[in-house]
């Protein structure tokens, strides 16, 4: 540490001592919860500027909370996307499917069928409703909790499960951590375990689309915690500099494993307000309101498609479950949080809206939930024929050395031969699937 010049300690003696602020969440395990400090504005009260407006015109919306579904279960105001009942039922169907899928895969992990799983409970709207507002060939660069996009895009459940089980049916040859899907066919980019890396990639893809005069846009999802990564800021800079046709979705689910959003700067401002410094359009929306999510994503998609610029959307939501199967939130946050969360649950809210419209009822909901559970169960059984993690039904050993490069170089060829030799020594009789 640099020494103060002689005598300066005395000179500074009358100055107040500096202190470091280390953020602390409001509630820890055992604490009663009061979310009164979260301002929940009335649904329908937020202005909806034209999609082609100047970014600065969205300033107020960066601090507000765009809401459509009110406590009366009705849609309100200028952001109402006015979706027809069939579309709403389709959305609810995707919600039910993701819930059923998460439930089954979570249990599968507990049963030792795979190493890891991540649920998106409470955040379903931020991917499903958003995906439904995009064109099916718009490119998405998701993070790890956007399984809803694949469900909404009709990716086969069995492919998802094969990937989770890393079995011989896994299209990714058992190389990726469970839930890190990839499907070029569904315009779904390969998921990275390093967070926020996909944000500049999405911007680059969108720039490429603009360079080629294409009409497709890109969208990316990043957790509020990882907005602290340099990549996110590079992405915002590139997006604004080149007016890239891209949507930057920030999922503010309040928790980055056990670190609350304060460690990403949430105590000082909103995540949507990050947009302002870059000159991006920004929207802060109720992420548990499926209609608000759909409307905001559609607004941003239309804006990008009209060459009017990129948008940063903060989805204000809540991670109802643990971060992953390796996490236990009861160790760091109040159990009451989930119950008291003031914005409710997206599935319940959409269901109640459809019931309010006279287009749905509890019996049909129960029947749909059951049907989803059965479909997931059937897909699981089918996928299990290809093996589960660690039970030997994996891709052949030589595949470990494929795809490092387009062609196999000499050193990998030598190492591949070594792996095969080792295997033959270990299992002279051979093993199934080897």
Partner 1 sequence: MIEAINEALDLKMAEDPDIIVMGEDVGYFGGVFRATAGLQEKHGKNRVFDTPISECGIIGAAVGMGAYGLRPVPEIQFADYIYPGLDQLISEAARLRYRSANDYIAPMTVRSPFGGGIFGGQTHSQSPEALFAHVAGLKTVIPATPYDAKGLLIAAIEDNDPVIFFEPKRIYNAPFTGYYDKPVEPWKKHRDSVVPEGKYSIPLGKARIAMEGDALTVLAYGTMVHVTEAVCLEKGIDAEIIDLRTIVPLDIEAIEASVEKTGKCLIVHEATRTAGFGAELSALVTERCFYHLEAPVERVTGFDTPYPHSLEWAYFPGPVRIGEALDKLMSE
Closest separation in Å from C-beta 290 to partner 1 = 28
Closest separation in Å from C-beta 194 to partner 1 = 5
CA distance 179 to 118: 7
End-to-end CA gap in the chain: 59
* H or E element that contains 369: helix 362-384
Closest separation in Å from C-beta 203 to partner 1 = 6
Q: CB atoms < 10 A from the CB of 96, how many?
A: 21
Closest separation in Å from C-beta 180 to partner 1 = 7
Closest separation in Å from C-beta 179 to partner 1 = 13
Closest separation in Å from C-beta 381 to partner 1 = 24
CA distances from 18 to 12, 21, 22, 105 (A): 12, 10, 13, 50
Q: CB atoms < 10 A from the CB of 298, how many?
A: 19
CA distances from 217 to 37, 247, 248 (A): 37, 8, 11
Nearer of residues 120 and 207 to partner 1, judged by Cβ? 207
Angle, helices 290-305 vs 85-110, to 10°: value is: 110
Closest separation in Å from C-beta 302 to partner 1 = 21
Nearer of residues 47 and 404 to partner 1, judged by Cβ? 404
Closest separation in Å from C-beta 414 to partner 1 = 10
Nearer of residues 62 and 172 to partner 1, judged by Cβ? 172
Closest separation in Å from C-beta 232 to partner 1 = 10
* CB 62, CB 272: distance < 8 Å: yes
Nearer of residues 141 and 360 to partner 1, judged by Cβ? 141
Closest separation in Å from C-beta 167 to partner 1 = 14
Nearer of residues 5 and 230 to partner 1, judged by Cβ? 230
Nearer of residues 205 and 341 to partner 1, judged by Cβ? 205
Nearer of residues 399 and 434 to partner 1, judged by Cβ? 399
Nearer of residues 25 and 200 to partner 1, judged by Cβ? 200
Nearest CA among 316, 309, 293 for reference residue 241: 309
The secondary structure of 377-392 as a DSSP string is HHHHHHHHTT--TTSS
310's tokens: 């990129």
What would the 3-class secondary structure string for 271-309 be? CCCHHHHHCCEEEEEECCCHHHHHHHHHHHHHHHHCCCC
Nearer of residues 370 and 404 to partner 1, judged by Cβ? 404
Nearer of residues 170 and 297 to partner 1, judged by Cβ? 170
Beginning with the edge strand found earlier in the chain, give each strand of the sheet holding 311-316 in spatial order. Answer: 139-141, 218-223, 246-252, 311-316, 281-286
Nearest CA among 37, 67, 66 for reference residue 267: 37
CA distance 311 to 297: 9
Nearer of residues 70 and 174 to partner 1, judged by Cβ? 174
Helix count and strand count (H, E) for the chain: 13, 7
The residues of the shown chain that bind partner 1, judged by CB under 8 A, are 139, 141, 171-173, 175-176, 180, 182-184, 189-190, 192-194, 197, 199-209, 211-212, 218, 230-231, 234-235, 237-238, 241, 403-406, 409-411
CA distance 176 to 191: 9
Closest separation in Å from C-beta 153 to partner 1 = 15
Angle at 280 between CA 276 and CA 286, to 5 degrees: 80
CA distance 78 to 81: 8
Phi then psi for residue 27, to 5 deg, are -130, 135
């Amino acid at each position: 540490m640099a020494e103060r010049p002689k005598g300066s300690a005395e000179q500074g003696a009358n100055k107040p001592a500096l202190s470091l602020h280390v953020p602390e969440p409001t509630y820890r395990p055992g604490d009663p919860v009061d979310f009164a400090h979260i301002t929940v504005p009335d649904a329908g009260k937020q202005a909806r500027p034209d999609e082609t407006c100047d970014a600065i015109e969205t300033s107020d919306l960066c601090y507000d909370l765009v809401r459509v579904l009110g406590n009366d279960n009705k849609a309100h105001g200028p952001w109402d996307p006015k979706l027809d009942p069939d579309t709403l039922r389709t959305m609810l169907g995707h919600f039910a499917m993701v819930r059923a899928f998460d439930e089954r895969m979570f249990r599968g992990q507990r049963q030792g069928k795979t190493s890891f799983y991540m649920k998106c409970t409470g955040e379903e709207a931020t991917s499903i409703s958003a995906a439904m507002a995009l064109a099916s060939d718009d490119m998405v660069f998701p993070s790890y909790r956007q399984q809803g996009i694949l469900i909404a895009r009709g990716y086969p459940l069995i492919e998802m499960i094969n990937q989770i089980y890393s079995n011989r049916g896994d299209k990714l040859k058992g190389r990726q951590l469970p839930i890190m899907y990839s499907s070029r066919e569904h315009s779904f980019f390969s998921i990275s375990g390093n967070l926020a890396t996909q944000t500049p990639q999405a911007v680059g893809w969108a720039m490429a689309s603009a360079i080629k005069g294409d009409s497709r846009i890109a969208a990316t999802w990043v957790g509020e915690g990882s907005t602290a990564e340099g990549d996110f800021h590079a992405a915002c800079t590139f997006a604004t500099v080149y007016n890239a046709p891209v949507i930057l979705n920030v999922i503010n689910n309040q928790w980055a494993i056990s670190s609350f959003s304060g460690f990403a700067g949430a105590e000082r401002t909103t995540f949507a307000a990050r947009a302002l410094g870059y000159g991006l359009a920004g929207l802060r929306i109720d992420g548990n309101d499926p209609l608000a999510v759909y409307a905001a994503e559609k607004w941003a998609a239309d804006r990008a498609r009209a060459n009017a610029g990129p948008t940063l959307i903060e989805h204000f939501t809540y991670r109802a479950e643990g971060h992953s199967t390796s996490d236990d939130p009861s160790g760091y946050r109040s159990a009451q949080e989930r119950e008291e969360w003031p914005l409710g649950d997206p599935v319940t809210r959409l269901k109640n809206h459809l019931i309010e419209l006279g287009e749905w009822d509890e019996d049909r909901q129960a029947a749909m939930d059951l049907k989803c559970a059965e479909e997931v169960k059937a897909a699981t059984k089918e996928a299990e024929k290809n093996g589960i993690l660690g039970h030997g039904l994996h891709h052949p050993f030589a595949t470990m050395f494929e795809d490092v490069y387009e062609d196999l170089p000499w050193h990998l060829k030598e190492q591949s031969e070594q792996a095969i030799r080792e295997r033959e020594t270990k299992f002279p009789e051979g093993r199934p699937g080897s």
